[in-house]
Each structure stands twice: as structure tokens, then as C-alpha cells.
Amino acid sequence: MKSAVITFPGSNCDRDMATALELASGVKPVMLWHRETEIPAGIDLIAVPGGFSYGDYLRSGAMASRSPVMAAVREAAARGVYVLGVCNGFQVLTESGLLPGALMRNAGIHFVCRDVKLTVENSRSAFTSLYAQGEQVVFPVAHHDGNFFADDATLDRLEGEGRVAFRYAEQVNGSARNIAGILNDGGNVLGMMPHPERAVEDAHGNTDGARMFRGLVEGLMAAA
């Protein structure tokens, strides 16, 4: 599996994401600066990593979503290229229109930085194929704008179409229906606030995230 990791000014999880992808695939991802206007040929997966792009000014992810590279990411996603947005990456994907809804300030205002329990709500996606349906996993979160909001009709559609990939199994940030991660209608774009790339090796004390990356490698290689 060939992957690319986008870096914006203020990204801080880009190298962790690259390490997780390399561990799973054996191939170093291409690192793409936000000014790039093209996704290199042959890329199967684009990762939009966490951090504080543009210092979270205006709204988290809003300025990054206007970066030249995001037009190329939108075009690639429309061709079926897989896109994984984590934390600030999820915020960038909603601001880009690649995923519905918005990430608002956490209920309770505070930055939340801890391990949280999640339920795998859809194990049939390319991102979750190595998890069992309904399985509980633990991923770290670290954000102040993780409070997922969408109107009721959108939430009903996400639930009805199996596009809620992960749900918090505990109260974390006030997200509507405790939604932690969602898929687009094509199933090739996933945005999530928790950080799978921070739970991929024994030194992390938790390897629950590793199956996301291994599942992607296995699934995308089988499709190639």
C-alpha cells in the first residue's frame, strides 16, 4: 500500500502517522507539504494528520481546508482514493466538505487528553475490517474541538447508512450521539477524533490502533 501524509503549518502528528503507516505497510509514506497541488500517481491512501494547523485560528481546520493540497485530496477522494483524517485531520475533512457535520468546542470547554473507550460501530469498512462488530477498543484523544455536531436528519442518515464507524463508550466531549468517527457515503473517507496512530506499538502501551493500519494494508493490497 502506498500512502501519503499531508503536513500543514502547525501539524504535529504527521510523523507519528507516517511511522504507523510504515510499520503496517513496510513502505515509507510520501510526505506532502500543504502547498502541493497534486497527489502523486499510485497513492492508495492519504492521511490528514492531527495537530494545530494554522494555530486553530478562525476554526480548527478551517484555514487548512483552503490549502492547495486539499483541492487535490478532494479530487482524489472522488476517484476512490482512501482518506483518513485524524483529530485535526477530521476537522479539516469536515471543513473541506468531504465529511458532513462540524467539530465544535468540547462541552465543558477543557482540552481533553486521555485514553478513551470506543465501540466499533461498523466493522465492514476498509478502515475497520480487522475489528469485530461492537468490539470495545481504547484510543487516546487530545483535543479541544472534538464535539461533533450535525443536524438530526444528517445524524439519522449517518446512523441508518452505517456511517458511524466509532462511538465513544463514555462521555468525552459532548459529541452528538457520542459519535467519534464517521465515513463518507462512498466508504473511502474516514474522519475520527481519537488517535489510532498513537496506539500501534508496545512502547505506546496499547496496540489497538495497529489493526486499523494493518486492515487498510491488507484490504487495499487485495483490491490492487
Ligand X SMILES: NC(=O)CC[C@H](N)C(=O)O
Which of 56, 95, 197, 208 is in the footprint of ligand X by CB under 6 A?
Answer: 56
Number of residues that bind ligand X (CB under 6 A): 13
> C-alpha grid cell for residue 89?
485531520
Least distance to ligand X, CB of residue 94, Å: 12
Catalytic residue among 13, 87, 95, 143: 87
Q: Is 195 a catalytic residue?
A: yes
- Does residue 198 bind ligand X (CB under 6 A)? no
Nearer to ligand X among residue 129 and residue 149 (C-beta): 149
Least distance to ligand X, CB of residue 190, Å: 15
Q: Would residue 83 be called left, alpha or beta, if left means φ above 0 and alpha means ψ between -120 and 50 degrees?
A: beta
- Does residue 7 bind ligand X (CB under 6 A)? no
Least distance to ligand X, CB of residue 210, Å: 19
Binders in 59-78 for ligand X, by CB under 6 A: 60
- Does residue 145 bind ligand X (CB under 6 A)? yes
Give the Cα separation of 12 and 143 in Å (integer). Answer: 12
Give the Cα separation of 186 and 216 in Å (integer). Answer: 16
Catalytic residue among 36, 95, 121, 197: 197
Q: Is 197 a catalytic residue?
A: yes
- Does residue 143 bind ligand X (CB under 6 A)? yes
Nearer to ligand X among residue 52 and residue 168 (C-beta): 52
Nearest to 176 by CA among 188, 193, 161, 190: 193
Q: Is 204 a catalytic residue?
A: no
Binding mask 151-190 for ligand X (x = CB under 6 A): ----------------------------------------
Contact residues for ligand X (CB under 6 A)? 13, 50-52, 56, 60, 87-88, 142-146
Enzyme catalytic residues? 87, 195, 197
